[in-house]
Structure 1
Amino acid sequence: MQVRNIQGEDYVKIHSVLNDWWGGRNMANMLPKLFFVHFQETSFIIEEDGKTLGFLCGFFSQTHKDEAYVHFIGVNPEYRRKGIATTLYSYFFDVARASNRKVVKAITSPVNKKSIQFHQEIGFQIEAGDDEIDGVSVHKNYDGNGGGRVLFLKHV
């Protein structure tokens, strides 16, 4: 298993499997190529024998100098619950701390119960929002009209 920084040429292979990894949900539109080109130092991919096991796209906030943000994390369904996402976050936390970032933020859809559970398991707290869905605090319209999201925060 190899962890490395993401590269521009990784975009096509990751983008082509996103919707399948999410059971047919349209996720590919949420991950433009700019993350693979402009945020390579804070984005990672895990591979084994040429197969993509998972990836994380994150960046450092330009506005809040003590914050880092994970825009997208995905794990091949065949490799879930095997430490892939935890490893990716570990690499991201390390680069965040090395750049004096004290807080890492992330988001997920309120329908993604596995993501909510995972983030809480690795120490993220849910930020109080302005609405609630299925007992989970959400921020209405965070991703545009009707795009409510669960926001997470973790001190690193």
Structure 2
Amino acid sequence: MADDAQHEHTFESADAGASTTYPMQCSALRKNGFVVIKSRPCKIVEMSTSKTGKHGHAKVHLVAIDIFTGKKLEDLCPSTHNMDVPNVQRKEYQLLDVTDDNFLSLMSDDGTTKDDVKVPDGEVGDKIEKLFRTEEKDTNVIVLTSMGEEVAIEAKEAPKAA
């Protein structure tokens, strides 16, 4: 028994894949909430529940949009079954620069910098370009992080410091 005291346990703070999602009963999911469909984090845009059939389960039909690719995904799940819900973080950063290879140079509230988020295509990318380059405004960028991926989803003029 005294031998056990000699062993020191070290726990690595590795990012366990399981912590990126948590289970939730299908019937508890809501429109505008998040769900994992085909291993992709999605935002639910439409939900409908069928009546209980002769095999005893009401089915929930989910239509969701992948939060990173914008692709529409659908799933059918018995209402009593669990589905994975992605842990989604939304964080606002101050935009410091846009690099030549189209990456955002961002700074968080605590002063740490982040240079691994790409300028998104489409409307948000155009807005970042317009605010930061054309109008030369102080710009804040909102980044959504989930399941090891990140994307800038919004850009807005930073409030003026008092």
Structure 1 or 2, whichever has the larger Rg, is 2
Shorter-chain TM-score category? under 0.3
Question: What TM-score does the superposition give when structure 1 sets the normalisation length?
Answer: 0.23
- Higher strand proportion (structure 1 or 2): 2
